[in-house]
Amino acid sequence: MMRSLLLWSSRNRWMNERLPEYAFVRRAVSRFMPGEEAASALDESVRLNDKRIFTVLTLLGENVTAREEAAEVCAHYHSVLGQVEEQGLNSEVSVKLTQLGLDLDPQIAREALSSLVSRAAELGKFVWVDMEGSGYVDTTLQMFEHVRRAHANVGVCLQAYLYRTREDLARLLPLSPAIRLVKGAYAEPADRAYPKKKDVDENYMELAVVLLEASVPRAAFATHDAEIIRSVQAAAAERRIESSALEFQMLYGIARAKQEELAHQGHRMGVLISYGSAWFAWYMRRLAERPANLGFLMRSMFR
C-alpha cells in the first residue's frame, strides 16, 4: 500500500510543485543525488572512476511538453558528452525518450537519439535508453532497434516485472543488443506486470540466464538485490564467464559498499548518477522501492 501511495505521489502535480520547496525534502534527496548541476555528477564521476567504477549520467525529467525543452535536453546531453571527453572520464549517458520529445512527436525523439548516439560514437562513448512506463515499451524498442542497426554504442533497458519482456528480449537478440536488466520502477497493472516481488525476482533470474547464454556485447545487471547479484555471479561462474566480463550497475548512493566490493572483485561496475531540478517524481520512485527510506526523510524533517 505504501509503495502505491508513493508511486501515486510521484505523479501528483501539486506535490511535484510544492514538496521540493521544503529544505528537509531537499536534504533527504541529497543522499541519492550529488547535486542539481551536471558539474556535481561529473565531479562524483572523477571520485568513482578512481575506485574503478564507471558512471552513467542522466538528467532528471520526463514527459516534456514543449519542443524547445526537448531540444534543450538534447543539446544538454551533447554538451555532457563533450565534457566527459574533455575531462577523460569513464562515463556514459542514459536518456529517457519522453524527455527527448516522444510525447510531442516520435520523429523528434528518434532524431535526437540518433544524433546523440552518432556523436557518442565519434567520441568512443556509450548511450543507454531508459525504459519508462509500459505504454512506451513498443516505441522505445522500435527506436532502439532503428538506432542499433546503425551504431553499436547504444543499449536499452528491459524490465523484469513485465510479462512481455521475455518475448521482447528474444526479438532483440538477433541484433546483438546491449541490455541493462532492471526489475522495473513504475506502477503497472497486474495484467501487464507481476504484482509479487517473488515472481519479479524469478523472472529477473530467468532473463539473466538468457542474457548470460546469449553472447550479447553487454549485459548489465542493474540491481541492488544482494541475493540476485549472488545468483548472477554463480550462474556466470557455471558458464565459465570471467569476472571482468560480468557487469553490474547500481544507483548513486545505494549499497555503496557493495559497489566497491563488486569493482574490487574485477567486475565491470557502473553507477547511475541522476541530477537536475526535476527530481521529485524520481525521488518518490526511489522511496517506493524501499519505503524504509522514508525514515531518512522523517529524520531530515526533525533535524
Footprint of ligand FDA (CB under 6 A) = 130-131, 157, 159, 180, 182-186, 222-225, 249-251, 254, 272, 286, 289-290, 293
Neighbours of 296 (CB within 10 A): 16
Minimum CB distance to ligand FDA, residue 203 (Å): 12
Q: Which is nearer to ligand FDA, 189 or 240 (CB)?
A: 189
- State how far Cα 265 lies from the chain centre: 23
Q: Which is nearer to ligand FDA, 177 or 184 (CB)?
A: 184
Q: Which is nearer to ligand FDA, 93 or 157 (CB)?
A: 157
Whole-angstrom Cα Rg for the chain: 18
Minimum CB distance to ligand FDA, residue 63 (Å): 14
Minimum CB distance to ligand FDA, residue 211 (Å): 15
Minimum CB distance to ligand FDA, residue 160 (Å): 8
Given 110, 148, 168, 180, the catalytic residue:
180
Distance between CA 96 and CA 62 in Å, rounded? 7
Given 110, 130, 148, 168, the catalytic residue:
130
Q: Which residues contact 30 (CB under 8 A, 6 or more apart)?
A: none
CA triple 84-106-118, angle to 5 deg: 30
Distance between CA 56 and CA 213 in Å, rounded? 25
Q: Which is nearer to ligand FDA, 67 or 198 (CB)?
A: 198
Minimum CB distance to ligand FDA, residue 240 (Å): 26
CA 194, 223, 102, 152 torsion: positive or negative? negative
For 25-28, the CB contacts below 8 A with 24+ separation are 25/283, 25/297, 25/300, 27/300, 27/303, 28/283, 28/296, 28/297, 28/300
Q: Is 201 a catalytic residue?
A: no
Q: Is 286 a catalytic residue?
A: no
Q: Which is nearer to ligand FDA, 67 or 271 (CB)?
A: 271
- Which of the residues are catalytic? 130, 180
